[in-house]
């Protein structure tokens, strides 16, 4: 009887020890590796290049997960000991190419038929169709795709180009900073010109307003209503237009 009691006690002790070990093992699993954000800034600033980010393969510790068979666990251990590590998705082990959204070809610069009473050299911006026309005369115009004011920031009118600037600095108006701060986006008081500047490579200022025709650091927004009223263009396109436009050029926004 004593022998049976000792055997039973030993069995209970072993069972509880195994359960405690298993619980401790599952409570201390290796952290889940979440893939980083694979999107990258799209920098097409006059020949600028995006350097791809390399995500190195992670070596994980083989731990038998709930529901996994002993055979699966042992196979996982063999893979680890072989030096191959636990397989990661291909996207995590190779250099990532920047995510580049294709722009609708209609928004690329092109010469189109354009019937207007405006004189050659005039800029006409059709905010509904997201096109900027530089009137060439003879029933033609050079057309560019643009981004325009988002709902609540649309406007129309007639102005002249009063100033031109290359790689302009950006000074967000105080009302814009307050508006964005309410959304949790804190804008700088001022930002020097450069590839990361929202005004992009060139800017043409309209009259005495705060509106401009300018480049952008977000070229995928061309063709959409996204700005606070300014007319934005790809940096390549605004640079081309900049060279064709003089101070005093008439700008009609419809």
Beta strands in the chain (DSSP E): 110-113, 123-126, 131-137, 140-145, 148-149, 157-166, 202-206, 212-214, 225-227, 231-232, 250-253
Give 134: exposed, middle or buried? Use CB within 10 Å, 0-12, 13-18, 19+. Answer: buried
Q: Which of 214, 216, 222, 233 is an active site residue?
A: 214
Given a contact cutoff of 8 angstroms between Cβ atoms, the answer to whether 241 and 132 are in contact is yes
How far is CA 210 from each of CA 20, 133, 217, 229, 232, rounded to the nearest angstrom? 69, 21, 19, 9, 13
Closest CA to 247 of 199, 204, 208: 204
Residue 137 annotated to the active site: no
Give the closest residue to 100 by CA, choosing from 65, 50, 152, 29: 50
Which candidate in 141, 148, 213, 230 is catalytic?
A: 230
Q: Residue 6: CA atoms inside 13 Å, Cβ hemisphere, count?
A: 3
Give 46's DSSP letter.
T
Contact 81, 62 (CB under 8 A): no
Paired tokens of 159: 């102005």
Residue length, the chain? 254
Question: Pairing state of beta strands 250-253 and 202-206?
Answer: unpaired
Q: Catalytic site residue 214?
A: yes
Catalytic residue numbers read 214, 230
């Amino acid at each position: 009887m004593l022998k049976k009691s000792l055997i039973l006690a030993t069995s209970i002790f072993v069972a509880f020890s195994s359960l405690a070990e298993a619980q401790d093992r599952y409570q201390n699993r290796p952290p889940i590796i979440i893939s980083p954000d694979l999107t990258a800034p799209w920098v097409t600033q006059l020949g600028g290049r995006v350097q791809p980010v390399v995500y190195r393969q992670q070596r994980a510790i083989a731990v038998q997960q709930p529901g996994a068979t002993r055979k699966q666990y042992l196979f996982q251990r063999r893979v680890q000991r072989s030096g191959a590590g636990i397989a990661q998705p291909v996207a995590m082990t190779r250099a990532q190419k920047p995510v580049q959204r294709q722009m609708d070809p209609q928004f690329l610069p092109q010469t189109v038929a354009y019937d207007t009473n405006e004189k050659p050299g005039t800029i006409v911006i059709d905010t509904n169709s997201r096109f900027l026309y530089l009137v060439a005369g003879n029933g033609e115009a050079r057309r560019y795709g643009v981004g325009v004011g988002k709902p609540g920031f649309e406007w129309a009118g007639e102005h002249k180009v009063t100033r031109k600037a290359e790689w302009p600095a950006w000074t967000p108006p105080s009302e814009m900073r307050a508006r964005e701060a309410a959304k949790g986006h804190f804008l700088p008081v001022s930002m020097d010109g450069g590839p990361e500047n929202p005004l992009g490579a060139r800017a043409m200022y309209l009259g005495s307003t705060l509106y401009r025709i300018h480049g952008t650091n977000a070229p995928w927004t061309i063709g959409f209503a996204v700005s606070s009223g300014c007319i934005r263009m790809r940096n390549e396109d605004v640079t081309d237009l900049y060279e064709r436009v003089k101070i005093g050029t008439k700008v009609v926004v419809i």
